[in-house]
Chains A and B, each alone.
Chain A
Amino acid sequence: MRSSAILLAGDNRVDAAFALAAEAESPTIFLMHTGVRALADPRLGPLVDAGVDVIACAMDAEAHGQPAPGGVRLGSQYDHAVLARDATRFVALTPRGAMDFRAGAGPRTVRVLIGCDPRAPEVGQALRSAVAYAGLGLGVTVAVEPEARALLEHLDHPPAVLRALATLRGLGHPVTHAEKTARAHIEVRW
């Protein structure tokens, strides 16, 4: 298992992700959401050549029309969740935040913080990744910040959002107001 994992989920974080990848030991970068635009970045090839493991969410790459260059693997949210479960360092670079965690051994928890309008595409991505963490048996809490509280107040959301929420609740993972939640081993802010 690579010791460092970098989640690149926003095209505004590409520079930070690449800088981190260049300095970290045996890093893996997982690209999703608008982060898949990094697939077209000319700086990616040299990183791959230098031994950086790069995995891109196949669905998001397809949605953004980004083919995978040589050396880049098209993967899934499963790969993302495996990184969250196993990496000793996990850096989450999302459109709204950069969070860096170093975790010890043992079962991990993840708090997915949602602070944007429930209609924003980031919410669907946040919940999709939360379902993937849950799918790998991590303890997941979806923490809804005040800006996103409509997520808890009514059911008028896109079907994919409703489905993800129902899945998480059905699997026993809390989806609740952020102030009711506690810090987790890994935090991802969307």
Chain B
Amino acid sequence: VSTLDLAGEVCPFTFVRAKLRLEELPLGAQLEIFVDHAPAADNVPRSLAGEGQAVLAVERQGARWRILVEKRIDVPLRKGRTMTTEADPIPPHGGVLVDRRADAARAAELTARAPGLPRLDLHVRELADLEMIACGALSPLDGFMRQADYRRVVDEGRLADGLPWTIPVVLSAPRARAADWRPGQEVALYARPSEGGALHAVLEVAEVYAPDKEREAKNVYGTALSDEKHPGVAQLRELDELYVGGAVWLVSQRPSLFPAYHNEPRATRALFRERGWKRIAAFQTRNPIHRAHEYLTKCALEIADGVLIHPLVGYTKDDDIPAPVRMRCYEALLEGYYPRDRTMLSTLPAAMRYAGPKEAIFHAIMRKNYGCTHFIVGRDHAGVGSYYGTYDAQREFDRYRPEELGITPLRFENSFYCRRCSAMASQKTCPHGETDRVILSGTKVRELLRAGEEPPAEFSRPEVARILIEAMRANA
């Protein structure tokens, strides 16, 4: 039985707080409410009963009243937010799954008003972030970061309220346009003309502030703002001079390139519930899955009820393999080598930052919002070039208490096929030397594929290799 003490509370906060507390509880749970005002002892139970809850007892205890209620029905009060259900194995980050997709009436109203609002064209990364915010993948963010969140994320890897968060999710604007924007003002957010130029959202300005991009580059990406080789920092430089914080309402969403695999957090959570999965391991990837990664996901599958293959299909750097090609590889691999009822392929339409350790935490938090309980972290997660140590991303998780993150990292070492073991293995499990291991560099693999040669079957499944060879031929 949970308890809510409403002594000293006034109407209507008495019944509103009681309802909010019930919202957090699973169906069938009991809530004991204490009030110290005679009218509240009548009105609170009446209001809860009127909503369909079961009032089990109202009894006077000296100067106060005890009201015992059993939750019989979900009546969410928080508009634009959805509570997860009792059957969800993990709550969203911060406790509520944000939903900033405008309903039809609001969307029509905002769309009608947008032409009269200041216009801001979004960078491709900002557009992806907007959609991720709206669907709840970035819960608890309800918009682009305000200054207090931004500063603390950059300096300490936490939101202003202390919740772990490692990547700034920001909206930039040219100083000439945004300097006189005031709190409460609305701004219409559009895709750039090259991206279709459509209206996507309306933002209510909370504040406009000057970022410290040099500090952001150093603390988040581990390099200087002037670094021309880091793709994440290159994007950072492309952003405008000021950042604009505030809540957003998404009016329209870009059509998914992979509609059959497009599942937002509510959908993946529902799918997990349907399948009865309680332990779900997520695998983030922006590459084709070769045998080494297949091995990691199957190790995870040994301890989980299901695995979510969750490829990032938003922005990636030019020399990464395009998402449509990768999706065909994943399909072929899952078709031939994974148990269908314990594997789910779904896309993550986020933009890649290449922020290594910081992005590993960010990726884990997103997967928590999608309902996953475990997150696979291999070597050089979200890395690029030689900016980060091989296992820096795994160590980054040690900066947070497990209960702060909620999602559990599954740390894996470099894996490979060992001819003497006759099995996939890692440095943790294989005593043999380099010469027994089938390890190919990315450069070597690309050379083979370009030449139309399949890498060894111990390195890559033939079905995957053939798709990649075909794609390279087509590209050539």
Contact = CB atoms under 8 A, between A and B. Distances in A.
Interface of A: 57-59, 74-79, 81-82, 128-129, 131-132, 134-135, 137, 139, 152, 163, 167, 170-173, 176-177, 180, 182
Contacts of A75: 39, 43
A152 B184 contact: yes
Given A171-B79, A172-B78, A180 B12 contact: no
Contacts of B231: none
B79 to A, nearest CB: 3
A177 B39 CA distance: 35
A180 B113 contact: yes
Contact of A180 (B19, B78, B80, B186): B186
Contacts of B10: 59
B183 to A, nearest CB: 8
A7 to B, nearest CB: 14
B432 interface: no
A10 B79 CA distance: 31
Given A82-B50, A137-B75, A77 B12 contact: yes
A78 B15 contact: yes
Contact of A139 (B12, B79, B113, B204): B79
B135 to A, nearest CB: 16
Contact of A76 (B15, B75, B81): B15
B46 interface: yes
Contacts of B204: 176
Given A76-B47, A82-B50, 8 more contacts: A76-B14, A76-B15, A78-B47, A78-B50, A128-B12, A135-B77, A171-B77, A177-B184
Interface of B: 10-16, 19, 39-40, 43, 46-47, 50, 75, 77-81, 109, 113, 184, 186, 204
A76 B11 contact: yes
Contact of A131 (B12, B75, B79): B12
B178 to A, nearest CB: 19
Contact of B16 (A57, A82, A135): A135
Contact of A176 (B14, B81, B184): B184
Contacts of A74: 39
3 nearest A-B pairs in the assembled complex, by CB-CB distance: A172-B79, A58-B39, A76-B43
A59 B11 contact: yes
A131 B47 CA distance: 14
Contacts of B109: 182
A76 B41 CA distance: 11
A95 to B, nearest CB: 20
A59 B15 CA distance: 14
* B13, B50, B81, B204 interface centre (most CB from chain A within 10 Å): B13
Of listed A81, A135, A172, residue having the most chain B CB within 10 A: A135
A137 B77 contact: yes
Given A135-B77, A176-B184, A167 B43 contact: no
Contacts of A135: 12, 15-16, 19, 47, 77
B11 A77 contact: yes
| Most central of B10, B11, B47 by chain A CB within 10 Å | B11
A55 B354 CA distance: 63
A57 B37 CA distance: 13
Contacts of A58: 11, 39, 43
A129 B10 CA distance: 12
Contacts of B39: 58-59, 74-76
15 contacts: A59-B11, A76-B11, A76-B14, A78-B11, A78-B12, A78-B47, A79-B43, A135-B12, A135-B77, A139-B79, A163-B13, A173-B79, A176-B184, A176-B204, A180-B113
Contacts of A134: 16, 77
A170 B98 CA distance: 12
Contacts of A132: 11-12, 15-16
A57 B42 CA distance: 13
B112 to A, nearest CB: 9
Nearest to B184: A152
Nearest to A109: B105
B79 A76 contact: no
B42 to A, nearest CB: 8
Nearest to A128: B12
A92 B16 CA distance: 22
A171 B15 contact: no
Contacts of B80: 172
B184 A76 contact: no
A55 B192 CA distance: 56
Contact of B81 (A129, A139, A152, A172): A172
Nearest to B81: A172
A152 B186 CA distance: 14
A58 B15 CA distance: 14
Nearest to B39: A58
Given A59-B11, A59-B39, A78 B46 contact: yes
